[in-house]
Structure 1
Amino acid sequence: MKNTDRQFFGEAPGCDNSPTLCRAADKEPTLPRDARLPINRCNLPAVILGSLSYQRHPAPLKLDGVEELHRDLLRRLDATPEPGRRAEIFQDYVTVHFCLDHLEEAGFSGGPKGRAKANYVRMLRGWSFDSDSREGAVMKGWVESRFGLLPRYHGEPLRDQGGTAYQRYVEMRAQGLYGTNALEAQLDLVYAYCQYEFARQQPGVSHLTLHRGVNHLGEHERLADGPGGRPVLLLNSLNSFTCNRERAGEFGDFILTLQVPVTKVLFHCRLLPGTLQGEEEFLVIGGVYGAECAFL
């Protein structure tokens, strides 16, 4: 076990020299300024929705204009009692609304169609295959745009917006969006539909217990110690978790367990059957989280 890993369990030598990691915080940690934007496109500012208080006491998150623009979809979903049929209605609606099967109607005027065919399904599958891919950059950029949470990692740490690593992320995001068909607006609908289904199928449920297997805990940004020495972490703007603790253990020597507000779930493997396979994956929007940490 590395010394940086031992710090998560209060075992690191020289703790008196690392007050941020080893002493109980005298005040609740907040979302750092360099991890958020001053504006976003939802009903709560990033400093609130990305806070530890929000993890504990979540409120509804609404993306600007999505419900107003897609009222017809919501009416059709409301009139459909079967979840499987609602998933079909959603997929059909997105296909028709964004002309995914008829790109010429969306303004495509010739040339290679590869980028024009990029859609929300490709982004979700690309993320699941490699979260540091071009698709991953698009997904993290969507969170940045809509919720104001800046990415903290994409292939390497992103701390300096003028640095090479951050510029590489921006370039990958731009490449992923270039020539596509309202890709971020498609992701808006995916999030809105995910939240609709949580409210419809699990009314009153505010949190999910989710797990993530990791190898080196010291690579995560730890802001403070919570009750019982549990770490308070700053997560990346978007993260993969699973609802299956045993499956999480296949991906690392340590398991992080979080109580995740359902409002911060972008997508999960059961939402649209056939989109993601295996791992019982949940895509979780980042910010500050109190976590439990266990060594396998």
Structure 2
Amino acid sequence: MTSNPPTPLAALMPQPSLPATARLPLNRCNLPPVILGSLTFQQHPVPLEIDGVPTFHAKLFSALDLLATHGERAQLFTDYMTAHFCLEALEEAGLTPGRRKKKRANANYLRLVRGWSFDSDGREGAVLKHWVETRFGLLARHHGGCLYEPDSEAYHRYLAEGAKGLYATNALEAQLDLLYTYCQYELFRQHKDEAHLTLYRGINRFDEHEVLERRRGGRYRVLLNNLNSFTTDRERADEFGDYILEAAIPLPKIFFYNRLLPGLLKGEDEFVVIGGVYEVGISTF
């Protein structure tokens, strides 16, 4: 009788999971945080859906199905956002006319993604990271400092900036829900036969990320912040750090990319990626 070769020890080891300290017990999508934030999800992604959003906006997506070009769909989406959320008629959304009108008008989904591009540790970044926490259950790990300790100054500053960014706004988190859902719709149309995109991120220090496991060949299993900037251009990533982090990013983990809305944002190669546990490669250019 021929015996089977022994199973490699590495294959018997449990896959790194999302630590309990990096997740909430509940979220507002179709998979719990412990699953969507795990290494298994990176390896075998499935679509993510924020509760009720595709159904509530079904007419928008039916209309998008009829349009052949990305530019036409982007125009319809921005027009729909303007009309549905009364972005150019804020009194209809309940705004009392007065000195705060201009500030309130600027507090929309475009302002947030522009603000992220300028400073991911600013007020807009705090709002976006808070949105990821509530929708996907993945806790922010960094915002102008480590957020591991709830009593730390950085954590209290993060909470304050997020609260200020959401105060007196017009369904801002609902705008982000629809932006993510449209992004997923567009990615599916453009990448029907793909589950991942290879993206790059420049880093200055390896300890910017929480390393869960070191592997051979410059491979690591790391816990990323709950929201991160990546790029499709490896040379561009090199401008932002001495090391380049390369990862296969599941399409459902892409919150937004600048080409999604042509002409409205600069930095066309930026992708904003939802975090969790990832296997990555780290190298110098």
Give the TM-score taking structure 1 as reference length. Answer: 0.90
Among 237, 242, 247, the alignment partner of 1:248 is 237
State the alpha-carbon separation in 2 of the partners of residues 196 and 226 from structure 1: 35
Among 96, 104, 108, the alignment partner of 2:91 is 104
- 1:113 aligns with 101
Report % sequence identity.
Answer: 57
- 1:147 aligns with 136
State the alpha-carbon separation in 2 of the partners of residues 292 and 276 from structure 1: 29
**Residues 231-259 of structure 1, C-alpha deviation per residue, up to 9 Å, x if partnerless?**
11100010000000011011111000000
Among 53, 57, 60, the alignment partner of 1:73 is 60
- 2:4 aligns with none
Matched to 2:86, the amino acid is C
Give the TM-score taking structure 2 as reference length. Answer: 0.93
**Residues 136-189 of structure 1, C-alpha deviation per residue, up to 9 Å, x if partnerless?**
000101100100000000000100123221111011000000011111100111
- 1:271 aligns with 260
Check whether the contact 2:218–2:281 (CA below 8 A) recurs between aligned residues.
no
| Alignment map for 1:129-168 (pairs within 5 Å) | 129-168=118-157
State the alpha-carbon separation in 2 of the partners of residues 86 and 26 from structure 1: 46
Question: Greater RCO between the two (CA within 8 Å, min separation 6)?
Answer: 1
Please report the RMSD computed on the Cα atoms of aligned residues, expressed in angstroms: 1.5
SS of residue in 2 equivalent to 1:116: helix
Among 167, 189, 203, the alignment partner of 1:214 is 203
* Structure 1 residues without counterparts, runs of 5 or longer: 1-22
Cα deviation, residue 262, structure 1: 0.5
- Residues 204 and 24 from structure 1, CA distance in 2 versus in 1: closer, same or farther, beyond 3 angstroms? closer
State the alpha-carbon separation in 2 of the partners of residues 278 and 165 from structure 1: 28
Cα deviation, residue 275, structure 1: 2.7
Matched to 1:67, the amino acid is P
State the alpha-carbon separation in 1 of the partners of residues 27 and 92 from structure 2: 30
SS of residue in 1 equivalent to 2:193: coil
Matched to 1:171, the amino acid is A
SS of residue in 2 equivalent to 1:162: coil
State the alpha-carbon separation in 1 of the partners of residues 122 and 113 from structure 2: 11
> Are 2:32 and 1:32 aligned?
no
The number of residues matched between the two structures is 274
